Amino acid sequence: GIQVEQSPPDLILQEGANSTLRCNFSDSVNNLQWFHQNPWGQLINLFYIPSGTKQNGRLSATTVATERYSLLYISSSQTTDSGVYFCAVSQGGSEKLVFGKGMKLTVNP
Amino acid sequence: NAGVTQTPKFQVLKTGQSMTLQCAQDMNHEYMSWYRQDPGMGLRLIHYSVGAGITDQGEVPNGYNVSRSTTEDFPLRLLSAAPSQTSVYFCASTLLRGNSPLHFGNGTRLTVT
């Protein structure tokens, strides 16, 4: 099946810093989503982005489907950005998302 | 708008006991699914459904049963709990139109002793 790799696995930042999270996938996809799991365990959908670029406040995401990667940018990070970020993909019109192992972000005040 | 509701939030079982994790959504989503989350493993799909009366297996279905009698509800049954089923379980749903985000419940933390 399709493989999803996220990097870096862990990142520690000072408040106000910018960061880029990367998601590589091993085959073509028609569905790619980014999620944030907060320290209380809740999973929040950030972006549905199988291709192109989207922005939502301080967060933006870009997917280059032909090169099989997606990037999540966090600008001016805040302590509330801490948590685990997941990339998930699916193929062939399926809603069955395959998740990467996640990237833990810690933003210190 | 309640979204995806999971109950219970926490559960402790003894090996061999059975139980049902409940999941309900009020968004009229056709697709519903169950994932388990284990440390260092990400989320792995257990079972999913694309509509009432239709279910299928995901990546890790052994030891779990599901049914979908209504659009709103998608319960997950553990037939004979094992310590390897200690995990956090998430229910998720979405529309089948192809460009809809996946919405998660708040999870159920299950411990099997």
Of B3, B1, B2, nearest in space to B94 by CA: B3
User: What span, in angstroms and rounded, lies between the C-alpha atoms of B14 and B12?
Assistant: 7
Which of A8-22, B10-24, B54-68, B95-109 has the least mean pLDDT? B95-109
Separation in Å, CA of A43 to nearest CA in chain B: 6
Q: What would the two tokens of residue A18 be?
A: 């910018």
Q: Which of B48, B102, B106, B110 to mutate to test the interface with A (most CBs of A within 10 A)?
A: B102
Measured CA to CA, the distance from residue B77 to residue B61 in angstroms comes to: 11
**Chain A CB contacts of B107 below 8 Å:** 41-43
On the question of pLDDT at B98 being above 80, the answer is: no
- Per-residue confidence (pLDDT) for residue A18, from 0 to 100: 97
Q: Does A102 touch chain B (CB under 8 A)?
A: yes
Residue B1: pLDDT band (50, 70, 90) is low
- The band of B99, judged by pLDDT with boundaries at 50, 70 and 90, is confident
pLDDT beyond 80 at B97: no
Q: What percent of chain B has pLDDT over 70?
A: 98
Residue spans of chain A under pLDDT 70: none
Residue A104, φ and ψ in degrees, nearest 5: -90, 120
Alpha carbon separation from B42 to A6, A52, B68, B92, B100 (Å, rounded): 11, 25, 25, 15, 21
The pLDDT, as a whole number, for residue A94 is: 77
Residues ≥6 apart with Cβ < 8 Å to B11: B19, B21, B108, B109, B110, B111
Q: Is the pLDDT of residue B51 over 70?
A: yes
Taking all residues of chain B, what is their mean pLDDT, rounded to a whole number? Answer: 95
DSSP symbol at A30:
S
Q: Count interface pairs A-B at CB distance under 8 A.
A: 54
Per-residue confidence (pLDDT) for residue B3, from 0 to 100: 95
Task: List A35's β-bridge partners, or say none.
Answer: A45, A86
pLDDT band (50, 70, 90) for residue B96: confident
Q: What is the pLDDT of residue B57?
A: 96
Compare all CA atoms of chain B with the CA of A97 and give the residue at the minimum distance: B45
CB contact, 8 Å: B12 with chain A? no
Residue of B nearest to A46 (CA): B101
